[in-house]
Amino acid sequence: MIAYVRGSVASVGAGTAVVDVGGIGLELQCAPGTLAGLRVGHPATLAATLVVREDSLTLYGFADEDERSVFEILQTVTGVGPRLAQSVLTALSPDALRRAVVTEDLTALMKVSGVGRKGAQRLVLELKDRLGSPVGGIVDLGSSASSGPAWEGQVREALIGLGWSPREADAAVAVVADEAEPDADVSTVLRLALRSLDRA
């Protein structure tokens, strides 16, 4: 089992990062929030898990052990595989997920791409006693959501992490705000934002 990857960041893309470990470039699938903390050419340590399938070996990278643990617990839910588990962590931090499950906030869970009402209910039912309590306690989830689209902050952070200036990131977010729904998938909006920056 691969527990973590440590090395110099060789590249950062829309959904992946390549870390140079002893001259070997390991590609890790990462959520935008994790990618936002990486800088090309700088050292990094990512918690990791290797998902083995008949036709593929996929390495997933995480900002910390808590994120990796939640990723693995998510996959024990009926119908949730690694891709959907990563989508959950793209839309919600581990603590935000805990709050949504504890408070049975189906609306927050349905912001995840690929999760409908029944899927959200299943997440609440099967995760209720498995994720633990949120570190920051229970807060009003609606207060932060009303300030802008659910994806806005994460996309901005990811663009800055990829090397764009805060001003360029803000401009790209403003451009895609007209195209993307408020509850759109973060990775989808990030791709749109990157395209708008390439055109500029």
Mind listing the pLDDT tens digit of every residue in the chain (200 residues)? 789 999 999 999 888 999 999 999 999 999 888 888 899 999 999 999 999 988 889 999 999 999 999 999 999 999 999 999 999 998 888 888 999 999 989 998 998 888 899 999 999 999 988 887 776 544 443 434 444 566 777 777 777 777 777 778 778 888 887 777 766 777 778 888 887 777 65
Look at residue 135 in the predicted model and tell me its pLDDT. Answer: 65
117 with 167, same domain: the answer is: no
Look at residue 145 in the predicted model and tell me its pLDDT. Answer: 40
Domain range enclosing 192: 152-199
54 with 70, same domain: the answer is: no
13 with 58, same domain: the answer is: yes
124 with 156, same domain: the answer is: no
Look at residue 136 in the predicted model and tell me its pLDDT. Answer: 55
> Could you tell me the two tokens for 178?
């007209």
State how many domains the chain has. 3
> Could you tell me the two tokens for 13?
């893309």
3 state DSSP class of 61: strand
- Measured from the Cβ of residue 175, the count of other Cβ atoms closer than 10 Å reads 17
Dihedral sign, Cα of residue 63, residue 66, residue 189, residue 60? positive
158 with 135, same domain: the answer is: no
Closest to 193 (Cα-Cα) out of 161, 158, 163? 158
CATH number for 93: 1.10.150.20
CATH number for 163: 1.10.8
